[in-house]
Amino acid sequence: MTQIAEWLDGLTLGRKVSPGIDAVLTILRTDAGRASFMSTQDLAARANVNVATVVRAAQFLGFSGWSALKSELRHRYLASLTAEKLLSERSNSSAGLAGSSFTNDVRNVTRLADSINPEQLTRAAAVLAAADRIIVLATGSYAGAGFQLAHIGQWMGRDIELHTASGTALVNRLRMLKPGDALVSCNLWRSSKFVLEVVRIAEARGIRIVAIADRQTAVTDLAEEALLVPSEGVTFMPSTVAAVATVQALLAELSAVDPDRTMRALRDTEGLWGELDLVDPA
């Protein structure tokens, strides 16, 4: 839990705290795993303080309250675990895992709807709409959300391309981006190191960055807009449902930036489908 302790120290910035807030922060530093699943009341009881002190501790660290801090802490804790450790922590019983997965994803989407700022989605869509070229950088299973963004974005007439790995093709595409173009990073849980390096280079070259992530990271710090989504799963697999839902919302906003352009692109695509006889008749 060294990384979490260092993160908390960074948020504290050497400021003096009251004994009550210090008691809360001590639990977060030393037992982040359990703390990240506690209610406000449970954490208050564990720290021997009142609920208001837990809220003040969260606000002291820059969060609106315990719920926001708890989500960030949980995702940082989960990111510190390997897939094997995640599975071992949650493999008490295989019974009902399918139902638990559905319930968990419903909860993730509910959390997302409660936490995400619609105005931020509008701003992120405006960044994409203003770009002549866009690349989406998504690794592993999160390429699913990235593919949706690129595919539907192209359908709407946007020059947007998905990249799922480092290499010369990515370098070529990155080199073609000009200041004002955009890069969307869609990476959660244990993000690949190369993603951060690519984002750093892109940002230095004047590329506008939009990040989809499950916690505050060096990538979100560089992003003009950082869309934070829950990714907690029920076994070793983080959930992609909230990331996909966010992409869907982002695409909806993008389609509305220039409705006439969107309509022309959709009409043209439908025409090409017809010429190539791609779609079965209804």
First and final C-alpha spacing in the chain: 56
Q: Strands across the sheet with 160-163, in order? A: 160-163, 134-138, 182-186, 208-213, 225-228
Q: What is the pLDDT of residue 89?
A: 66
Q: What is the pLDDT of residue 167?
A: 84
Tokens for 66, please give them.
Answer: 């315990």
Q: Which domains does the chain have, with CATH numbers?
A: 2-82 (1.10.10.10), 115-274 (3.40.50.10490)
Q: What is the pLDDT of residue 92?
A: 54
Which tens digits make up the pLDDT trace of 229-270?
Answer: 998 888 887 899 999 999 999 999 999 999 999 999 999 999
H or E segment to which residue 111 belongs: helix 97-115
Distance separating alpha carbons of residues 185 and 200, to the nearest angstrom: 11
How deeply is 5 buried, as exposed, middle or buried, from its count of CB atoms within 10 A (0-12, 13-18, 19+)? middle
C-alpha count within 13 angstroms, C-beta hemisphere, residue 151: 8
Stretches where the chain sits below pLDDT 70 are 1, 86-95, 282
Q: Are 139 and 192 in contact (CB under 8 A)?
A: yes
Which tens digits make up the pLDDT trace of 24-48?
Answer: 999 998 888 888 888 899 999 999 9
Q: What is the pLDDT of residue 91?
A: 56
Distance separating alpha carbons of residues 71 and 206, to the nearest angstrom: 31
CA dihedral 77, 112, 216, 30 (to 10 degrees): -30
Q: How far is CA 171 from the centre of its chain?
A: 24
Q: What is the pLDDT of residue 90?
A: 61
Q: Are 101 and 127 in contact (CB under 8 A)?
A: no
148 contacts: CB under 8 Å, gap ≥ 6 = 244, 247, 248, 251
Q: What is the pLDDT of residue 176?
A: 93
